[in-house]
Structure 1
Amino acid sequence: MAIERVKNDGGNWPPSIAELCLRLKPSMADFGLTDPEVAFKEACSHAGNVHGHAWSHQAVREAGAATGFWDLSHVASDIERSRLRKIFLAEYEAICNRVMAGGNVSNVALLESDDMKSAIERAEAAANEESERRMRDFWASRGEEPPKTPREALDRMKGMLDEGGAA
């Protein structure tokens, strides 16, 4: 296969060992995998018709699913498109590497890092963490363990109000 590539590309004959090694490395095309940029465009274009579209490769569909088809079909800004592109390409690369190593295409999403999140998502996460911290501090100041469920929290706060205490 590598020799055929060198012949077809019109490279030096005979090829150097380095060139032959480079040609021996399997390419995405050898596995029927679409170019990453083309795959991203396909995922964006057909995110609203996931089941009706004949995907160029199952890896494109899986990377789109891991990224979020709803998000891909509702991109509102260039910044959001860039963020989703970064996530999609990371997912697609992981899937392609798995396929090229002999593994199966599966819908296992990568862990998302903070730099892949939008400013709103980071702000929501920070607000949730702050809220949790304040709740723990409140119950600790009363010498009590934090409630285990929202229902327990409501019942305990109602009890404090019924007793005339400050919640």
Structure 2
Amino acid sequence: MSATPSASNSPTHTTPVGRRTSGKTSQIPPERKEAITALVSKVFTRLEAIFPRTFSSAFPTVDMLKLSRREVAQELARWPMLPTNQTIERALSEIKRTGNTWPPTIPELIAKLQPSAEDAGMPNSADAWREAVNHAHHPAEHCWRHEAVRLAGQAVGWWELTHTTAQSTWPRLERRFEKHYAALVNRVLAGEELQAQGLIGHEGSETRGAKAERASREAAQQQAEAAGMPHRMNPEQGMRSLRAALGGR
């Protein structure tokens, strides 16, 4: 007769804050643990006030409420940065604006509490994109709001940001920037400090083929400017300038 696994030796049993399911203890400083406990208590107290009629139905027993609070606390304990008061207020405001009459699920609540770029002192994606476009001509001379903005602009390409004339191309460049910037934001929120050398040597990080391609584009631009062609042209302007350069043929 085989023994039935107990909760104490099961590899998937529920564990309190500060412990992993593998059985290893993850030490949390007492002050951080207190901060997490206070944060979770505050959030659930506010949810009870927002949903007075359905809160008790969503969490029908004391044990269910404890388990739910513990799930949120365990997730917050994994985050390098805890939600700020601003983040909490924003999350609760978004929850109220949904018009739902029931409290959010635990996964929904955790997603709402996730810190944003602004919480880490970074501009939002739209502001970062505008800054990158506005200062792409002289990136080395600009004092960037955050290193991540310059890194994302560099990843898209300063040449592309200063020489693209086709309006249909700009949405694609913006999407590329947003993708790179979002990845950098996630790295910062995960506790990583972006190193300054990542900002240095855009040329040094290029492949030989990329350097040759960029040099060719810059040489062509210089030849065009020497021929009196404007810095930015639409296709019709380009054809007129080309015909003039060829003697009207």
1:39 Cα deviation after fit? 0.8
TM-score relative to the length of structure 2: 0.37
Tell me which residue corresponds to 1:6: 89
How big is the shift at 1:83? 1.8
Long gaps (5+) in structure 1: 110-167
Q: Report whether the alignment pairs 1:24 with 2:24.
A: no
- TM-score calculated relative to the size of structure 1: 0.52
Q: Which runs of 4+ in 1 moved over 4 A?
A: 7-12, 15-20
Root mean square deviation of aligned Cα: 3.1
Q: CA deviation at 1:90?
A: 1.1
Corresponding position: 1:97 with 2:186: yes
Q: CA 1:50–1:10 in structure 2 vs 1: closer, same or farther (change >3 Å)?
A: closer
Question: C-alpha displacement at 1:11, in angstroms?
Answer: 7.7
Distance in 2 (CA, whole Å) between partners of 1:36 and 1:52 is 22
Match of 1:56 in 2: 145
Quote how far apart the aligned CAs of 1:65 are: 0.7
* Cα separation, 2, equivalents of 1:89 and 1:57: 15
Q: How many residues align?
A: 108
The match for 2:123 among 11, 34, 42 is 34
SS across alignment from 2:145: coil
Q: Write the deviation string for residues 80-125 of structure 1: whole angstroms up to 9, x where unpaired.
A: 212211211111111111111112325499xxxxxxxxxxxxxxxx
In 2: Cα distance, 1:83 partner to 1:92 partner: 14
| 5+ long unaligned stretches in structure 2 | 1-38, 44-84, 97-102, 203-249
Distance 1:104-1:10 versus aligned 2 partners, 3 A rule: closer
Q: Distance in 1 between matches of 2:95 and 2:180?
A: 34
Question: Deviation of residue 21 (structure 1)?
Answer: 3.5
CA pair 23-10 structure 1, distance change in 2 beyond 3 A? closer
- Check if 1:67 corresponds to 2:132: no
CA offset digits 1:56-86 (Å, max 9, x no partner) = 1110001001111111112201222122112
* Percent identity of paired positions between Structure 1 and Structure 2: 34
